[in-house]
Structure 1
Amino acid sequence: MFNEPLISRALAQTADWQKVDDILGRKPAVSDDVRRYGFPRSDLTVTLDGVTIKPSLALGGWVAFKPAHGGAMAMGDLVLLETEVRPVMAKLMGGGLEITAVHNHLLRANPATFYMHVSGHGDPVKLASVIHDALATSKTPLTVAASGPAPAVELDTAQLDQIIGVKGQNNGGVQAFAVPRFDPVTEGGMQIAPAGPMGVAQAINFQPTGGGKAAITGDFVLTADEVNPVAKALLENGIEVTAVHSHMLDEQPRLFFLHFWANDDALRLAKGLRTALDKTASIKSKQK
Structure 2
Amino acid sequence: MRTPVSGSVRRVAILTALLAVTVTAGCSNNGGNNSSTTSMSMPMGGSHKPVATTDADWKAVSDILGRTGKFGDSNTVYRIPLVRSDLQVTTGGVQIKPGLSLGGYAAFGKFDDGTMVMGDLVVTEAELPKLTDALQANSIQQTALHKHLLEQSPQIWWTHIEGTGDPAKLAQGLKAALDTTAIPPAAAPPAQQPPVDIDTAAVDAALGRKGTADGGLFKYTLARAETISENGHVLPPTFGVTTVVNFQPVGEGKAAINGDFALTATEVNKVIEALCKGGIDVVEVHNHMLSDDPHLFFLHYWAVDDAVTLAKALRPALDATNLAPAK
Q: By the TM > 0.5 criterion, same fold?
A: yes
CA distance in 1, matches of 2:262, 2:295: 10
Who is 1:265 aligned against? Answer: 306
Aligned residues of 1:245 and 1:258 also touching (Cα < 8 A): yes
Aligned residues of 1:15 and 1:71 also touching (Cα < 8 A): no
Who is 1:93 aligned against? Answer: 136
CA displacement at 1:71 relative to structure 2 = 3.0
1:28 aligns to 2:76 (yes or no)? no
Higher relative contact order (CA 8 A, sep 6+): 2
Q: Secondary structure at the match of 2:158?
A: strand
Aligned residue type for 2:173: V
Q: 2:121 aligns with which of 62, 68, 78?
A: 78
Aligned residues of 1:25 and 1:144 also touching (Cα < 8 A): no
Who is 2:207 aligned against? Answer: 164
Q: Secondary structure at the match of 2:127?
A: helix
CA displacement at 1:83 relative to structure 2 = 1.4
Q: 1:176 aligns with which of 216, 219, 230?
A: 219
Q: Secondary structure at the match of 2:119?
A: strand
Aligned residues of 2:190 and 2:215 also touching (Cα < 8 A): no
**Relative to 1, partners in 2 of residues 1:236 and 1:14: Cα closer, same or farther, differing over 3 Å?**
closer
CA distance in 1, matches of 2:218, 2:54: 33
Aligned residues of 1:181 and 1:281 also touching (Cα < 8 A): yes
Q: 2:249 aligns with which of 185, 208, 211?
A: 208
Who is 2:36 aligned against? Answer: none
Matches within 5 A, 1:1-288: 8-9=51-52, 12-13=53-54, 16-31=57-72, 32=74, 33-141=76-184, 143-149=185-191, 150-193=193-236, 195=237, 197-285=238-326, 287=327
**Relative to 1, partners in 2 of residues 1:235 and 1:20: Cα closer, same or farther, differing over 3 Å?**
same
Aligned residues of 1:221 and 1:258 also touching (Cα < 8 A): yes
TM-score (ref. length: structure 2):
0.81
Q: Which runs of 5+ in 1 are unaligned?
A: none
Aligned residues of 1:165 and 1:284 also touching (Cα < 8 A): no
Who is 2:40 aligned against? Answer: none
Aligned residues of 2:83 and 2:186 also touching (Cα < 8 A): no
CA displacement at 1:125 relative to structure 2 = 1.7
Aligned residue type for 1:23: I
Q: Secondary structure at the match of 1:170?
A: strand
CA distance in 2, matches of 1:129, 1:170: 34
CA distance in 1, matches of 2:204, 2:81: 24
Aligned residue type for 1:218: G
- The number of equivalent residue pairs is 279
Aligned residues of 2:48 and 2:112 also touching (Cα < 8 A): no
Aligned residue type for 1:86: P
Aligned residues of 1:16 and 1:125 also touching (Cα < 8 A): no
Aligned residue type for 2:233: M
Aligned residue type for 1:53: I
**Relative to 1, partners in 2 of residues 1:14 and 1:173: Cα closer, same or farther, differing over 3 Å?**
closer
CA distance in 1, matches of 2:54, 2:156: 37
Q: Secondary structure at the match of 1:220?
A: strand
Aligned residues of 1:65 and 1:74 also touching (Cα < 8 A): yes
CA distance in 2, matches of 1:13, 1:139: 29
CA displacement at 1:161 relative to structure 2 = 2.2
**1:200-249 deviation digits (Å, cap 9, x = unpaired):** 11011000011110000000011111111100100110100000011100
Which sits farther off after the overlay, 122-131 or 156-165? 156-165
CA distance in 2, matches of 1:8, 1:25: 24
Q: Secondary structure at the match of 1:83?
A: coil
Aligned residues of 1:166 and 1:179 also touching (Cα < 8 A): no
Aligned residues of 1:231 and 1:241 also touching (Cα < 8 A): yes
Q: Which runs of 5+ in 2 are unaligned?
A: 1-46
TM-score (ref. length: structure 1):
0.91
Q: Secondary structure at the match of 2:322?
A: coil
Aligned residues of 2:48 and 2:232 also touching (Cα < 8 A): no
